[in-house]
Each structure stands twice: as C-alpha cells, then as structure tokens.
Structure 1
Amino acid sequence: MVAIRVPRSMRAKRELLKHAPKLVENGKKMLILHGTKTSAVLNSVLADIFHLKRDHAVKYTKKNDNIRPFESGGETSLEFFSLKSDCSLLVYGSHSKKRPNNLVLGRTYDHHIYDLVEVGVENYKSIESYAYDKKLAPKLGTKPFFAFIGEHFESVEELKHLKEMLLDHFKGEVVENLNLSGVGRIFVCTAISPTTVYMMHCALRLKRSGTSIPRMELVEVGPSMDLVVRRHRFPAESLQKEAMKAPGHAKKMKNVTKDPIEGKLGRVYIPDQELGKMTLTNDIKGLKRERRDAKKNKEHSKKQKVNNPE
C-alpha cells in the first residue's frame, strides 16, 4: 500500500495539482518494464522506445517476476508501478519459448488496467543499424505524423485496437496550432495481413516545391519491426463508461465576467426611477409581522385620541 501524505506547503500542493485529473490532459507518461526473462532483441526494442519517448517516459531495468498482464491477480504489480511513477501508459516486455519477443502495450484509468494488446516483435531493426545524416535525427518535443495504410485498420477489430494503442502511446501532448517546421518525423504503419502490421519510423526532409508548401521526403531512421497481434483485451463496459464520461459544462451566468486582475465582475441593471410615481408607505415588507401590526395599532390609537379628546 502507498501511504497517503497531506501536503504541508504550497509547493507540495502545486505538485499535487499537476497530477490531479484535468479536463484537457497533458502528454501522458509511459512506463517501460522488463519481465522475468527478456531477449537481446526485446532489450533493444525497449531501449529504442524509451529513446523515442524519453521526455515522457520512465524505465525500470530490474526484472519483475510477479507481472502477468492477462492473468487474474497478475495486474496488481502493474497498477502499483503505474501509481508509483504516475504513468498511464504501459510497455511490458517478456520472452519465453511459447511467446518469443513478446511486447504488451497497455493503458490505465485511475491507475487501474483499462485495456491491453499483446504483440510479437519480428524482423526488428534498431536505430543504430541505420546510416543517415544526423541532422535529420528527430529532435525532442517534435510532434509525429501517423500514416496507417491498409483496409484492415478499419475492418479488423484487433488492428483497430492496436491503432488506438499506438496513437495513444506515441502522439505526445495535444496542441491546437502546429508549425510545419516543428514536425520532423512520421510513423508509417502498414497492415500486411489481418494480424500483422509493419511499423517504421521515418524523418521528414523538407525541400523546395515552388509553392508556399514544401515538398516532403521520407528518410527511414529506425526503428522498424513487424508487430504480430497475439492477444488483446478490451476495457470493461462499466470502466469504459466511466472513463468516457465528459464533465458537465458550468452554466453560463448572465452579466458576469472574469478578469485576470480584478477577478469576478458583475453588472447590475437598475430601471429608471421617476420621483412623481414614487410613494412611500409605512407598510414595509422587511419588518416582521409582529412589529408591523404593533406599529399599526399604535397609529390607530393615536388617531382615536385626536378625534375624541377628553
């Protein structure tokens, strides 16, 4: 169990607010884990994935014996590490005779396993095996393009699920405006068969085209691999309904504005008043009933004394 600590300073409170749920989430962090046994190919795959996501990734190098993603009770360690490292994306690598070079991609909601996709890595080429101009190397913080080629991404449920998983793992932060010069790489995913996807990572080279939009050329910079879908698990219906729930928008108040300096401001409209039509009465609604009745009785007794003097 993780001990719950109450923040005692404003700095600690600000750190907790960064990890709190938001209407528009920042770039999700990825947690990379090793299984009980891993191969040299799988170690290189995990290292390259960490290299591509090193701004928003946490990598654990120790072996984990208690992680069984698709078995009941084997998800406890994954959820614990997700909570400890504050990561909502998971990449877990393991190697066995039954499932060689096995890679599990997962997502969490509220630090509970949301869905999982298990793929096998084949025909892998690392980043170091490519020779290219190092000026074309993708820079930190650049947004990648995604190209999904093949009709299987729209017709096969397994590849639909894998497409969502790859987008969520490598897309980075959500932005409204994007400068073309800041886009320097692209992931090309080609559906070879209903269960196999060829994935490669390329750099974008911008060249003159005679127009305001430059001509783009792809230079493969690695890594590249074949992903063979083995097992996948969709999210539970109740958990999916809770995760997809959108927060209700606050009701807009009329004549109320917010200013960054003065804060909340309101505008009050008062109708025009005419002195000729204004009448003042002694029957004031703000007074309590007992006080109002007592005042009326007092005035009535005074009138009787004036009309009937002794």
Structure 2
Amino acid sequence: MLKIKTPKTHRGKRVLEKRAPKLVENEKKTLILHGTKTSNVLNSLLTEIYHLKKENSVKYTRRNDNIRPFEAGGETNLEFFSQKTDCALFVFGSHSKKRPDNLVIGRFYDHHVYDLVEVGVENFRSLQSFSYDKKVAPKMGTKPLIAFVGEGFESVDELKHLKEVLIDLLRGEVIENLNLAGVDRCYICTAVSPKKVFLSHCALKLKKSGTIVPRMELVEVGPSMDLVLRRHRLPNEGLRKEAMKTAPDHTKKKLKNVKGDPLLGKTGKVYIPDQKLGEMALPNKAKGVKRERREARNNKDPNKQASKKPKGEGST
C-alpha cells in the first residue's frame, strides 16, 4: 500500500486538501483497467468510455494479472490504484472462455471496494459505426440525461443495483441548475428482460415547436450494446449505513417559540415584559398640569383661599 507522507510543499498540501472528505464532494473519477486477457470488443469499449469521461477518468493500458474483484484477496491491487489515483469508480474488462467480453463495474468507499456488478457485453457498436451530422455531436463535459425504461428497474433487485451503478458512472457532476441549451445528449437504458439491458447513447437535436420549450429529437451517436447480468455483490448493511451518513445541516437556525399548525399555518408566541407605567417619564408636560396642582393645593388648605379678598371690592 502507499505510504502516508506529510506534505512538504504547498502543492502537495493542496493535493491532500482536494482529496480530503468534504460536505459537497467533487465529481467522481473513474478508473479504467484491463485484465489478463481482453478482446477487441472490450478494448474498443474501454477506450470509448475513457473518451466519454475524459475529464474525470484515468485509464491504464497494462495487463493486470492479479485483479479478481469477486475473489478474496483479488481486490488488493484495485484498492491500491484507487488510493493512488483518488478514483471512486472503476471499470474492469476481462475475457475468458467461461465469461467472454466480461465487464465489471464497481464503486469504492474510503478506497475500499464497496459493491460490484458484472455484465457481459453483446451486440456492441462503436462510435465509428454510426453516421450522423457532426454538428449535433455531443460536446465534451456537458451534462447528460439518463432515462431508464422498463418496470424491471423498480422490481428486480439485480436491475436496481445496476441502475444505481450506471447512474454514478454516467451522470457526471452533480449540479443544482441546468441550462437547456447545454443539454445535448442522453443515455437510454431499456430493460429487455430481468437479465438483459439495452444501453444506447443519443444526441439531442433541438427544433422549433412554436412554444418557448423546443422540440427534441434523438439521434443515435453510439456506443450502444446489450448488457447481460452475470454476478453482483451488494455491500453489507453496516458498510451501507456508514457510507450513507451525511453531515448535519447547521445553516438553518432554529426559531424559538415558532411552530407550524396544519390549519393556522406558521404561528408564534410573543412575550411582553411587565410595563411599569408609574415610573415612565412623560415626554412633555401638558398645559392642564398647573391647574391640577393649584386645585390640589386649595383642597388641602380651604381657609387660605377664603381669606383672600374678592377682586373689585373696596375696604369698609
């Protein structure tokens, strides 16, 4: 295995920070490998998968004798390559008399094999075998659409697992907003039977429809193939729970004394402190305050008011 080293340069430190776990992970890279023996079909298929995912894939052309994903101890080299290249997916092609044109697709978790799906490739057609207008050819790095046709993807366990793996392999970068002008290709997966899936790659051609939303036409650009299910291995329940953990969302602050009601909607409580009106200072003095004070003083001493002479009377 690789030796763990501390970074000695700023560039090495940036590489380790890029590979460190994040709340929002980067796009998954794909590792493409060859087995001890491969056929011309597999060589062409692995090359075209690399071209479709060129920005986020690593391809090794050497033969690997010791990689056997479904056998105990045969996945050590796979985990070594995953740690070396920081890849979360792998595609492994091998050819034998028992399993001709064999393709193994798997995922890693913490640089260890998470799950595996083994399929056989039949009726393969490469990119060069399709003739179409090159103007509608998909561009590199665009976001593809993925369509799964058939009830088997919801009812058959093997097809459910294959669907999860194909979504991770083909979807590209996870985004929040999508520009319609940038949608130029689509992967169509059709469940022909519980053990067979037809996969095709089409370009989207936008045409006028008389409305704001254009009309789309599919133009098959390849590659296309039939995938025959052979073996698959699911992760154990403990590993699945650990891989599905998500960080708590601390962005939203909890509002105190606020609750939701199905009839009233959002309701809340407002607490008002005791108001001591006697101690409150008046903003200004009213004109009637002096008169009130004089009347209050006269009520306390009535004799003083009577001793005063009425205005306008003379002395006797």
Q: TM-score, normalised by structure 1?
A: 0.80
1:240 maps to 240
Shift of 1:253: 7.2
In structure 2, what is the Cα distance between the partners aligned to 1:192 and 1:212?
35
* Greater alpha carbon shift after TM alignment, 208-217 vs 232-241: 232-241
SS at match of 2:198: strand
In structure 1, list runs of 5 or more residues that go unmatched. 255-276, 278-310
Aligned residues: 257
In structure 2, what is the Cα distance between the partners aligned to 1:90 and 1:38?
16
**CA spacing shift, 1:253–1:222, aligned 2, 3 Å:** closer
Shift of 1:147: 0.8
Shift of 1:12: 2.3
In structure 1, what is the Cα distance between the partners aligned to 2:5 and 2:154?
47
In structure 2, what is the Cα distance between the partners aligned to 1:120 and 1:252?
48
In structure 1, what is the Cα distance between the partners aligned to 2:250 and 2:146?
35
| CA deviation profile, 1:180-221 (whole Å, cap 9, x unmatched) | 111110001110000000000000000000000000000000
In structure 1, what is the Cα distance between the partners aligned to 2:251 and 2:27?
29
1:161 maps to 161
In structure 2, what is the Cα distance between the partners aligned to 1:12 and 1:98?
45
SS at match of 2:162: helix
2:193 maps to 193
1:78 maps to 78
2:27 maps to 27
In structure 2, what is the Cα distance between the partners aligned to 1:36 and 1:252?
53
* Greater gyration radius: 2
2:14 maps to 14
1:181 and 2:181 correspond: yes
| Matching residue's letter, 1:134 | K
**CA spacing shift, 1:10–1:252, aligned 2, 3 Å:** farther
SS at match of 2:87: coil
In structure 2, what is the Cα distance between the partners aligned to 1:188 and 1:121?
16
In structure 2, what is the Cα distance between the partners aligned to 1:8 and 1:64?
33
Shift of 1:248: 2.4
In structure 2, what is the Cα distance between the partners aligned to 1:26 and 1:106?
18
In structure 1, what is the Cα distance between the partners aligned to 2:252 and 2:24?
20
**CA spacing shift, 1:251–1:61, aligned 2, 3 Å:** closer
**CA spacing shift, 1:233–1:8, aligned 2, 3 Å:** same
Give 4+ residue runs of structure 1 displaced > 6 Å after superposition.
251-254
1:222 and 2:225 correspond: no
Alignment RMSD (CA, Å): 1.7
| CA deviation profile, 1:242-275 (whole Å, cap 9, x unmatched) | 1011112348779xxxxxxxxxxxxxxxxxxxxx
1:231 maps to 231
Shift of 1:9: 3.0
Shift of 1:24: 1.2
| Matching residue's letter, 2:139 | K
| Matching residue's letter, 2:193 | S
SS at match of 2:187: strand
| Matching residue's letter, 1:151 | E
In structure 1, what is the Cα distance between the partners aligned to 2:232 and 2:217?
35
In structure 2, what is the Cα distance between the partners aligned to 1:138 and 1:16?
33
SS at match of 1:141: coil
Question: For 1:108-119, what aligned pairs fall within 5 Å after superposition?
Answer: 108-119=108-119
| CA deviation profile, 1:128-185 (whole Å, cap 9, x unmatched) | 1111111111111100011111111111000000011000001011111110111110
In structure 2, what is the Cα distance between the partners aligned to 1:240 and 1:152?
23
SS at match of 2:203: strand
**CA spacing shift, 1:253–1:130, aligned 2, 3 Å:** closer
Shift of 1:11: 3.0
Question: For 1:138-157, what aligned pairs fall within 5 Å after superposition?
Answer: 138-157=138-157
2:282 maps to none
In structure 2, what is the Cα distance between the partners aligned to 1:166 and 1:37?
24
In structure 1, what is the Cα distance between the partners aligned to 2:58 and 2:227?
23
In structure 2, list runs of 5 or more residues that go unmatched. 255-278, 280-316
2:209 maps to 209
SS at match of 1:132: coil
Shift of 1:241: 1.0
* Greater alpha carbon shift after TM alignment, 132-141 vs 147-156: 132-141
